[in-house]
Amino acid sequence: MGRWNTRKRIDATPQDGQSLARTLSWPHLIAMGVGAIVGTGILTLIGIGADKAGPAVLLSFLIAGFVCACAALAYAEMAAMIPASGSAYTYSYVVMGEVFAWIIGWSLILEYSLVVSAVAVSWSGYAAPLLNSWLGAPMALMQAPHVGGIANLPALFIILAVAGLLIAGTRKSAGLTMILVAVKLSALAIFVWFALPHFNAANLEPFSPYGFARNMSSDGIERGVMAAAAIIFSAFYGFDAIATAAEETRNPKRDLAIGIMGSMLACAAIYTVIALAALGAAPFTRFANSPEPLALILREINQPGAARFLAVTAVITLPTVIMAFFYGQSRIFFVMARDGLLPHGLSKVSSSGAPVRITLFTGAVVGVIALFFPLDEIVALANAGTLVAFSAVALCMLIMRRRAPDAPRGFRTPLAWVVGPIAVAGCLYLLASLPQKTQIWFLIWNLAGVGLYLAYGRRHSLAGRPMAGRADSTRDPN
């Protein structure tokens, strides 16, 4: 039978020297999820979303959050059922076969690479002025060529620092993440404390000045509630990084579901309160497209001290977002290399159970992007890759409900035949709502991925070979 139908077994077991250390429990996973989700999404995307939808960006948050919640339920079931590293890539390999798995893995590589690089550049944007004023560091070495600089060295520095933490051990990095998440939430609580007393319902009118569907406005910008939702979607999807931690979780069948759903519920509540406070405290035109909308709102209501605290907190805590997505990126690379679709030598782990080679390789890839590339026009590509991966996970859940209805599941999605189709349809609608340029670049990325698979992955894949955890194409993965 064809390679396209070659699937992994659910109980796939890595060979010796390729197993990750199990050091995480559900509090670490929730902290990782909140650390990834609550970051640039609420700190910057509320301004971009307001520019596209006006006060109706509240609806954009609700729509994106609802689609993500449906996808999170599917993720929780699949993660508990297949507690192996690799997230959507591994689920697709088990359920739909190698070619589908490659496409999803390639999409996840796109998502994580761009998110890690974008957040590193965002962090550098806060840190560079401080380094310039305190240490006299030249701005030319802290900006990319597209804005007149030579290279963005602070962005590379924070990427390498996070890589060092991950090499030191997942538990150590997860513990630091929990501390930084607490600091981040305290700063957001201060924002709500100062902004809510200035709430003015008149700032919410007109509520939806640009309509619901994506449309081209008179100034040539694509606007509407769905256009904003397609971009804001990235504010929620950090929970999928949790699923990549399956092999490093002590009790994956219980803790993965708790981590995924716990972080999603916590962040949905946080986003709703902050978005409402922000939109009520100032007219959306004041902070639309601002790189620091929450700090700008605090200055607008004469709270400069709180604004400075929020800005400093962003510098301190944005690395939690980098850490979560860097972690997910390195684990996707790791599993694809372990399967032979990428160079197999990258899947070796250290004596402490950390994948050092793949972490360094990942750092090099995202570091180059952060050093030199302008990300403002292509960051939506991260959303495109994620939407495809989320659709695949929901589809995998539905297929397994048919193929193996009685298989053990540590978590069962309620109303699966309602939640699953909503997740698939919602993700595809959001994908169609992305800018047309983004859709073209995403097609080019996938064509390049297919070429790489045919040139390397297909010939070096370990599927069907005598390796632990492999099933041939004629066997059911159960």
pLDDT digits (tens, 9 = 90+) for 118-129: 778 777 776 777
Q: What is the average pLDDT across 413-422?
A: 92
Q: What is the average pLDDT across 134-144?
A: 74
| Token pair in block for residue 157 | 């520095």
Does 403 have pLDDT greater than 80? yes
Q: Give the pLDDT score at 395.
A: 96
pLDDT, tens only, 172-196: 555 666 677 788 788 888 999 999 9
Q: Give the pLDDT score at 353.
A: 57
pLDDT, tens only, 372-395: 765 555 567 778 888 999 999 999
The shares of helix, strand and coil residues in the chain, as percent rounded to the nearest 5, are: 70, 0, 25
Lowest mean pLDDT among 87-91, 419-423, 465-469: 465-469
Percent of the chain with pLDDT over 90: 11
- Residue 457 CA to residue 453 CA, distance in Å, equals 4
- Residue 246 CA to residue 84 CA, distance in Å, equals 5
| Token pair in block for residue 3 | 């390679």
Q: Give the pLDDT score at 174.
A: 57
The residue with tokens 């998110």 is 115
- Residue 51 CA to residue 268 CA, distance in Å, equals 21
- Residue 290 CA to residue 56 CA, distance in Å, equals 17
Does 416 have pLDDT greater than 60? yes
- From the centroid of its chain, how far is CA 391? 15
Does 166 have pLDDT greater than 60? yes
- Residue 382 CA to residue 237 CA, distance in Å, equals 10
152 backbone dihedrals φ, ψ, rounded to 5°: -90, 80
**Residue of higher predicted confidence among 244 and 106:** 106
The residue with tokens 């396209």 is 4
- Residue 355 CA to residue 198 CA, distance in Å, equals 49
**CA distance readout (Å), 12 to 15, 392, 405, 468:** 10, 20, 19, 7
User: What is the CATH number that goes with domain 24-460?
Assistant: 1.20.1740.10
In order, the DSSP letters of 12-76 are --PPTT-PPP--B-HHHHHHHHHHHHSSHHHHTHHHHHHHHHGGGHHHHHHHHHHHHHHHHHHHH
Question: Which residues, at least 6 apart from 184, have a Cβ–Cβ distance to it below 8 Å?
Answer: 35, 38, 39, 313, 317, 320
Instruction: Please return the burial class of 44, using the count of CB atoms within 10 Å of its CB with bins 0-12, 13-18 and 19+.
Output: buried
Does 453 have pLDDT greater than 80? yes
Percent of the chain with pLDDT over 70: 78
The rounded mean pLDDT for the chain is 78
Reference 221, options 428, 46, 50; nearest CA is: 50
- Please list the alpha-helical segments (H only) found in 282-355: 284-287, 293-300, 304-338
Q: Give the pLDDT score at 294.
A: 85
The secondary structure element, H or E, covering residue 357 is: helix 356-372
pLDDT, tens only, 222-251: 888 888 888 888 777 777 667 666 666 777
pLDDT, tens only, 300-352: 898 888 888 887 887 887 777 777 777 777 777 778 888 888 887 766 666 65
**CA distance readout (Å), 168 to 164, 338, 350, 367:** 6, 21, 10, 19
The residue with tokens 């200035």 is 198
Q: Give the pLDDT score at 421.
A: 96
Lowest mean pLDDT among 238-242, 449-453, 469-473: 469-473
Beta bridge partners of 470: 8
Q: Give the pLDDT score at 223.
A: 85
Dmax (CA) for the chain in angstroms is: 69
Q: What is the average pLDDT across 38-61?
A: 80
Region class of 149: left (phi > 0), else alpha (psi between -120 and 50), else beta: beta
Does 15 have pLDDT greater than 60? no
Does 94 have pLDDT greater than 50? yes
Question: Which residues, at least 6 apart from 156, have a Cβ–Cβ distance to it below 8 Å?
Answer: 120, 367, 370, 371
474 backbone dihedrals φ, ψ, rounded to 5°: -95, -5
- Residue 267 CA to residue 379 CA, distance in Å, equals 22
Reference 19, options 451, 295, 334, 446; nearest CA is: 334
The secondary structure element, H or E, covering residue 448 is: helix 436-452
| Token pair in block for residue 261 | 């759903």
Q: How many other β-carbons are positioned within 10 Å of the β-carbon of residue 205?
A: 11
**CA distance readout (Å), 347 to 17, 28, 154, 464:** 9, 24, 29, 19
Q: Give the pLDDT score at 177.
A: 64
| Token pair in block for residue 56 | 């109706």
How does residue 426 score in pLDDT terms, banded at 50, 70 and 90?
Answer: very high
Q: Give the pLDDT score at 467.
A: 38
- Residue 419 CA to residue 457 CA, distance in Å, equals 34
